[in-house]
Structure 1
Amino acid sequence: MRASTESTGPAFYAGHIDLLTDLLDGVRARGAVLYRAGMDRGWSIRIADGAPLMLVAVIEGHMWVLIDDAEPVRVGPGDVAIVSLRSPYTVADEPGIAPQLVALPGDRYTTPGGVDVTEKLQTGRRTASATPGADTTVVVYGTYQVAGDVDDRLLAALPDVLVVPAGEVPDWVVGRLEDEVVRDEPGQQLVLDRLLDLTLIVALRVWFARPGAPVPGWYRAQADAVVGQALTLIHENPAHPWTVTDLAAEAGVSRAWFARRFTELLGESPIRYLTGRRMAIAADRLRGTDSTIAGIAHEVGYADAFSFSAAFTRTAGVRPSDYRNAYRTGHIVES
């Protein structure tokens, strides 16, 4: 099958910047947990690993995502589901089945009574253990273990569970993921990380383009002739000392009208959005480069490391140096 090409989102004004591409560029799996698993009928697993995001491609059979106090979500054969929820939830063959396993941080598993069964599950977890048939569920699943691997602005834009129907994510994407996950070759973790990124990006691109998708304000705002232009300016040159007056003048409207319109569409002020964009770039540089704090400060529009550090700490709740160290040691959970 091929991906759907219908309705590709808002009709952007000339010269727009694709904010979705800009946002998805921040997706970077690092040491992601990724497996192919097969389960016979009657299975149920409680997910309590605190991972910010899980992607599941159902190869055969079906599964349900069961979030406490919410309607169950069915994921059928060929569907791709993305779960963006740090609080515990359950995945199961059918609603109402008591969990037999609990998934915990660090790729550990216990019984509901707390008996560690991780070692027992290690062998063969990358190959389906069930016999193919009508009562079998086979899935490929991957989790982003570190919050910083996915931009917070993207996580905030996603529902707890979204399902991309079968056929809308090209077969070759999921097929390549399924093929590679069972290999054991040098550099395989890096290959799996990048394939998980690719599958996630393709699935989200398809989902955002679907008619009626509950997209965030910034996605709709790209089509606005005034606010869309301001978003382009901010994303193309976030280090520029933009003021509300400057952005309004560039858009050819009054300061008051511009500020009101921007806040109405995005749910936050222009300056708060600008700061968020700068901090997202800074977090990416802290994670992915060895640039100095002062260098990153200048790159995102701050005069010195002190003022940048104060702004970053206010936004992220942790100093830039501590954020970098925590990410590199795998200890960062919230950013």
Structure 2
Amino acid sequence: MDALADLLDGVRARSAAFCQAILEPPWSLRIADGARLALATALCGHAWIVPDEGEPVLMRTGDVAIIKGPRPYTVGDDPATPPEIIVHEGNRLTTMDNIDVTDSLRLGPRTSGHTPDGSAIVASGTYQVSGDVSERLLNALPEVVLVPRSSTTIPIIELLAQEVNGEGPGQQVVLDRLLDLALIVALRAWFARPEAEAPGWYQAQSDPLIGPALRLIHGDPAHPWTVALLAEKVGASRAAFARRFAVLVGEPPMTYLAGWRMALAADLLRSSETTIDSVARHVGYANAFALSVAFKRVRGMSPSRHRAGV
């Protein structure tokens, strides 16, 4: 398991609200569905993504955008076009004065618009994002990630467009899996671009020394890792390994390991009824007391209080 795979594990399309809008200028949609993460693409024409804070981003045909929520934002034919429709959770559509127009704008099971002949088609899907592990991925992204069409070589978006217009057996599962794959392809393409300023843990995965060490940590976080043991496993001296890890990842090996264990523990405490002692052993602590000491030091509260959502 590598760092990106682990962080993506909690970002999944499950019964995803994937849809497409067929539009004719001037048009503008206010996106207020509360999604933590969304993927959008212009299948035809273009669209401006306008965060409430930050610069507008132009999405041309075939480009893919990843938008962080849950704050609302606007998508339109021009940054200056005022919104006329609000998109709510579950693809419910209202006018700006809260009149429900979902049914009147429905052109198909997952398609909305005033006319099927609009010059712009925007497809989008939202993701469920849960837990501290996935939060580490979100923290590495800007408000809007734009991946140009030229940067993605796999025709995932075309497959999504074909599937969203069909009604075959298992369609929801197919859409969910295609949406997951589209996100992975888009993120990899984004992080490969110089302007992305990819986080240290991502860049370090390709390093011949630190990459294997990261895979060891993510593959078995409960192992009693030490700097010396990790260095031995990757064939480097302790001092050289520690220096290189800190430079590439941005923090010392044991600090990274502790942060990763805390994120895993936090998610397990919230997502399962496993005892705190079992959670402790799962992430590499001897018992509940040891986890509690570390958890309080890092999170400022006990594991039980975190589990209770206090």
Q: TM class, shorter-chain normalised? A: 0.7 to 0.9
Task: Note if 1:55 corresponds to 2:39.
Answer: yes
TM-score by length of 2: 0.79
Relative distance call for 1:176 and 1:283 in structure 2 (3 A) is farther
Counterpart in the other structure of 2:50: 66
- The structure 2 residue matched to 1:138, chosen from 115, 121, 125, is 121
| Contact 1:109/1:116 (8 A) holds in 2 | yes
Identity between Structure 1 and Structure 2 (%): 51
- AA aligned opposite 1:96: A
Q: Which stretches in structure 1 are left out of the alignment for 5+ residues?
A: 1-16, 327-335
- AA aligned opposite 2:200: G
| Contact 2:140/2:198 (8 A) holds in 1 | yes
Q: Which stretches in structure 2 are left out of the alignment for 5+ residues?
A: none
Relative distance call for 1:320 and 1:65 in structure 2 (3 A) is farther
Counterpart in the other structure of 1:329: none
TM-score by length of 1: 0.74
Secondary structure in 2 aligned to 1:157? coil
- AA aligned opposite 1:176: L
Which shows bigger deviation, 313-322 or 267-276? 313-322
Counterpart in the other structure of 2:257: 274
| Contact 1:37/1:125 (8 A) holds in 2 | no
- The structure 2 residue matched to 1:169, chosen from 144, 152, 171, is 152
Counterpart in the other structure of 2:183: 200
Counterpart in the other structure of 2:237: 252
The Cα shift of 1:275 comes to 2.9
Structure with more strand by fraction: 2
The Cα shift of 1:197 comes to 0.4
- The structure 2 residue matched to 1:221, chosen from 204, 227, 230, is 204
* Distance in structure 1 (CA, Å) of the matches to 2:168 and 2:265: 34
* Distance in structure 2 (CA, Å) of the matches to 1:137 and 1:315: 47
| Contact 2:11/2:130 (8 A) holds in 1 | no
Secondary structure in 1 aligned to 2:111? coil
- AA aligned opposite 2:63: D
The Cα shift of 1:125 comes to 5.6
- AA aligned opposite 1:157: A
Relative distance call for 1:312 and 1:50 in structure 2 (3 A) is farther
- The structure 2 residue matched to 1:44, chosen from 28, 31, 41, is 28
* Distance in structure 1 (CA, Å) of the matches to 2:162 and 2:270: 29
- The structure 2 residue matched to 1:238, chosen from 221, 224, 244, is 221
* Distance in structure 2 (CA, Å) of the matches to 1:310 and 1:117: 53
Alignment of 1:1-335 (within 5 A): 18-118=2-102, 120-121=104-105, 124=108, 126-127=110-111, 129=113, 136-148=119-131, 151-170=134-153, 172-185=155-168, 187-224=170-207, 227-244=210-227, 246-247=229-230, 251-254=236-239, 262-282=245-265, 294-304=277-287, 308=291, 315=299
The Cα shift of 1:139 comes to 1.9
Secondary structure in 1 aligned to 2:151? coil
Relative distance call for 1:261 and 1:149 in structure 2 (3 A) is closer
Which shows bigger deviation, 168-177 or 69-78? 168-177
Relative distance call for 1:149 and 1:42 in structure 2 (3 A) is farther
Secondary structure in 2 aligned to 1:154? helix
| Contact 2:221/2:261 (8 A) holds in 1 | yes
- AA aligned opposite 1:188: Q
Could you report, residue by residue, the CA deviation over 1:122-143 in whole angstroms, capped at 9, with x for unpaired residues?
663613546566x611122101
Relative distance call for 1:269 and 1:121 in structure 2 (3 A) is farther
* Distance in structure 2 (CA, Å) of the matches to 1:141 and 1:45: 12
| Contact 1:34/1:192 (8 A) holds in 2 | yes
- AA aligned opposite 1:65: I
* Distance in structure 2 (CA, Å) of the matches to 1:39 and 1:206: 28
Which shows bigger deviation, 84-93 or 140-149? 140-149
The Cα shift of 1:29 comes to 1.7
* Distance in structure 1 (CA, Å) of the matches to 2:90 and 2:133: 18
| Contact 2:221/2:284 (8 A) holds in 1 | yes
* Distance in structure 2 (CA, Å) of the matches to 1:191 and 1:59: 19
